[in-house]
Structure 1
Amino acid sequence: MRIAHHRYVVVAATAAAILALADIPAEAQTGPAAAALPSSVSADTTGLAGLAESYLQQRADMLTTSPPTAKAAIAHVRATRSMAAQTQDDLAALAEKGKRYKEVDGGYTRAQVDVKVDDTTVDGGTATLQLTEHTRLRLPFTPQEVEEGAPEFEELSLPHTVKFTQGSDSAWLLSSDKADTAGGPTPTTQVSDTDAEATTDDGGGAPDEDEGGKDDAADTTPLPDSGASDTVKPGVSAAYSYNKMVAYADRYWDHHNGAYRTYGNDCTNFISQAMLAGGWGPKGGALIQRTSNKYWFYGPTKWTTSYTWAGAENWYWFAKKHAKRTKILGNVWQLAKSDVLQADWTRNNNIDHSMIVTKKYRGTPYLTYHTGDTHNKSLSKLLSDHPRAWWYAHRT
Structure 2
Amino acid sequence: MIIRTAMRRAAIAAVVTGLAVSVLGNSPAQAAQPAPAEDKALIEAARTYFAGENAITVEGGATAASATRKAEDLKVAEAFRAVRDDRMEAREQLLGINELAGVRYSGVDTELTPVGSVRTQGDTARLSVREHTEYTFAGSKDEPYSYTVRHNLSFVRTDGDWALSKISTLDGPANLSTPEKLDPAELSAARKAAKELRAEAAEGEGKITDPAKKASAGTGVRPAAAYDYSAMVAFATKYAEPEPEDNVPYDRDENDCTNFISHALKAGGWERVLGWYRSDSVWWYTGNPWPLPPHSYTWGGAPNWQRFARDESERVYELSGPSSLAIADVVQFEIFGYSDPGQPGHTMMVTDFTDDWMPKMSYHSTDTLNRPLSEIIAEHSDGEKFWYFRT
Q: Same fold, TM exceeding 0.5?
A: yes
Q: TM-score, normalised by structure 1?
A: 0.74
Shift of 1:70: 10
Q: Which residue of 2 aligns with 1:391?
A: 386
Residues 240 and 257 (structure 1), Cα distance of their counterparts in 2 relative to 1, 3 Å cut: farther
Residue aligned with 2:342, SS = coil
Query: In structure 1, what residue type is equivalent to 2:111?
Result: D
Root-mean-square deviation (CA, aligned residues, Å) is: 3.1
Partners in 2 of 1:88 and 1:95 — Cα distance?
A: 11
Q: 1:228 to 1:141 in 2, by over 3 A?
A: farther
Give me the whole-angstrom Cα distance separating, in 2, the residues matched to 1:71 and 1:5: 16
Q: How does 1:112-123 map to 2 (within 5 A)?
A: 112-120=109-117, 121-123=119-121
How far apart in 2 are the matches of 1:71 and 1:47? 18
Q: Of 51, 55, 66, which residue of structure 1 is paired with 2:49? A: 55
Taking structure 1 as reference, are residues 354 and 237 closer, same or farther at Cα in structure 2, changes over 3 Å only?
same
1:278 maps to which of 268, 271, 288: 268
Deviation at 1:241, TM superposition (A): 2.1
**Residue 82 of structure 1 aligns to which amino acid in structure 2?**
A
Q: How does 1:190-209 map to 2 (within 5 A)?
A: 190-193=179-182
Choose 353-362 or 233-242, whichever is displaced more: 233-242
Aligned-pair identity (%) = 25
Q: Which string of whole-angstrom CA distances, capped at 9 and with x for unpartnered residues, describes residues 241-278 of structure 1?
A: 21121111111113344543322322101101111222
Measure how far apart 1:385 and its partner are.
Answer: 2.5
Paired residues in the alignment total 331
Structure 2 residue 170 is matched with structure 1 residue 187 = no
Alignment of 1:26-175 (within 5 A): 42-44=37-39, 46-66=40-60, 68=65, 72-120=69-117, 121-142=119-140, 146=141, 150-151=142-143, 153-169=144-160, 171-175=161-165
Contact 1:183 1:265 in 2 (8 A): no
**What SS does the aligned partner of 1:55 have?**
helix
Structure 2: any 5+ residue segments left out of the alignment?
A: 1-10, 23-35, 186-195
Report if the CA contact (8 A) 1:236-1:243 is conserved.
no
The one-letter code sitting in structure 2 at the alignment partner of 1:116 is T
Q: Are 1:3 and 2:14 an aligned pair?
A: yes
Contact 1:65 1:99 in 2 (8 A): no
Contact conserved, 1:70 with 1:92, CA < 8 A, in 2?
A: no
Distance 1:341 1:95, change over 3 A: same
3-state DSSP class of the match of 2:130?
A: strand
The alpha-carbon deviation at position 103 of structure 1 amounts to: 2.1
Report if aligned partners of 1:70, 1:88 keep a CA contact under 8 Å in 2. no
> Which segment drifts farther, 336-345 or 225-234?
225-234
Q: Which of 168, 179, 186 pairs up with 1:178?
A: 168
C-alpha distance 9-85 of structure 1, shift in aligned 2 (>3 A): farther
269-278 or 119-128: which moved more?
A: 119-128
Give the match for residue 349 of structure 1.
342
Give the one of 365, 372, 378 matched to 1:378: 372
TM-score (norm 2): 0.75
Larger radius of gyration: 1
Aligned to 2:200, which of 212, 219, 222?
A: 222
3-state SS, counterpart of residue 371 of structure 2: strand
| 2:284 is the counterpart of 1:297 | yes
> Cα 1:91–1:240, aligned 2, differ >3 Å: closer, same or farther?
same
Structure 2 distance, partners of 1:167, 1:345, is 38
Aligned residues of 2:56 and 2:68 also touching (Cα < 8 A)? no
> Aligned equivalents of 1:138 and 1:98: distance in 2?
14
Counterpart contact for 2:52–2:69, Cα < 8 Å: no
Deviations, residues 27-68 of structure 1 (Å, cap 9, x unaligned): xxxxxxxxxxxxxx8333x44222211110111011122263
Aligned to 1:319, which of 291, 300, 309? 309
Residues 307-350 of structure 1, C-alpha deviation per residue, up to 9 Å, x if partnerless? 10111111112112222222222222111111111112459331
Q: Report the CA distance shift for 1:9/1:139 in structure 2 as closer, same or farther (over 3 A).
A: closer
Mapped contact 2:124–2:154 kept (Cα < 8 A)? yes
The answer to whether 1:251 aligns with 2:241 is: no
CA–CA separation in structure 1 for the residues paired with 2:351 and 2:360: 6
Contact 2:50 2:71 in 1 (8 A): no
- Structure 1 residues without counterparts, runs of 5 or longer: 11-40, 196-218
Secondary structure of residue in 2 paired with 1:119:
coil
Q: CA deviation at 1:364?
A: 2.0
Give 1:377 shift. 1.4
Q: Label 1:168 to 1:242 Cα distance change in 2 as closer, same or farther (>3 A).
A: same
